[in-house]
Amino acid sequence: MNITSAKFEISNSNVKKCPATCRHEYAFIGRSNVGKSSLINMLTGHKGLAMTSSTPGKTMLINHFLINDGWYIVDLPGYGYAQRGKKQQAEIKKIIEDYILEREQMTNLFLLIDSRHNPQKIDLEFMEWLGENGIPFSIVFTKLDKLSSAAGKIQTAKYLEALKQQWEELPPVFYTSSTDRRGRTELLDYIEELNKLPLPCSEPTDE
């Protein structure tokens, strides 16, 4: 798939205020500082599309980006940022869960995992919650350029082994780097296939 256009459309904290369109949406989520904005920019080929920051926890809204005038990339708030107070953490949790559970246009959730770290309890518990709620998702390992080829294989295999203790069948897995652009073709080809699926919604009318 070629990305010919990518533009920011809307940010909000309420799933009911998301675009009233019947288009496939692909949401990206992960722990704070997992490289989510950099990955979105790499996929779209637009360096400044999603805001990147060295400070974790910056994305606190649902951000919609219209791609090729036909489907959306959705940048969701990162979870697990310890510097947020309990009240703000609860607010972010509600924003995330409301979107994931209520947004029928969401065709797939891409869960980003930093390949440099050992399996994290918060990620495993989040995946378990996704499974319990029947949410279609894929795993995207990020920052593989930070590891040697051998170390990357060891770390990602360690994560998948941990998952196999909970899951009979693993979701689709992608291996990426925003720096050297690995995984871009595979992710976009996967989205292209999913775009062929029917949606349970319909375009609003003026009647």
Q: What is the DSSP letter of 62?
A: E
d(Cα 31, Cα 127) in Å, to the nearest integer?
Answer: 12
Instruction: Provide the pLDDT for residue 79.
Output: 81
Instruction: Provide the pLDDT for residue 101.
Output: 97
Start-end of H helices in 4-103: 36-44, 86-102
Which of 31-40, 57-66, 83-92, 188-197 is the most confident on average?
188-197
Whether residue 55 has pLDDT greater than 60: no
3-class DSSP string for 18-43: CCCCCCCEEEEEEECCCCHHHHHHHH
Whether residue 203 has pLDDT greater than 90: no
Residue type, 97: E
- Ranking 51-55, 66-70, 92-96, 127-131 by mean pLDDT, the lowest is 51-55
Start-end of H helices in the chain: 36-44, 86-102, 121-132, 149-164, 184-194
- Ranking 5-19, 48-62, 79-93 by mean pLDDT, the lowest is 48-62
- The pTM (predicted TM-score) of the whole model is 0.92
Q: pLDDT of 99-108, one tens digit each?
A: 999 999 999 9
d(Cα 171, Cα 163) in Å, to the nearest integer?
Answer: 10
CB crowding 20-33: b at 16 or more within 10 Å, else e: eeebbbbbbbbbbb
28, 205 contact by CB (below 8 A) = no
pLDDT band at 187 (very low <50, low <70, confident <90, very high): very high
Q: pLDDT of 27-44, one tens digit each?
A: 999 998 899 999 999 999
Instruction: Provide the pLDDT for residue 151.
Output: 96
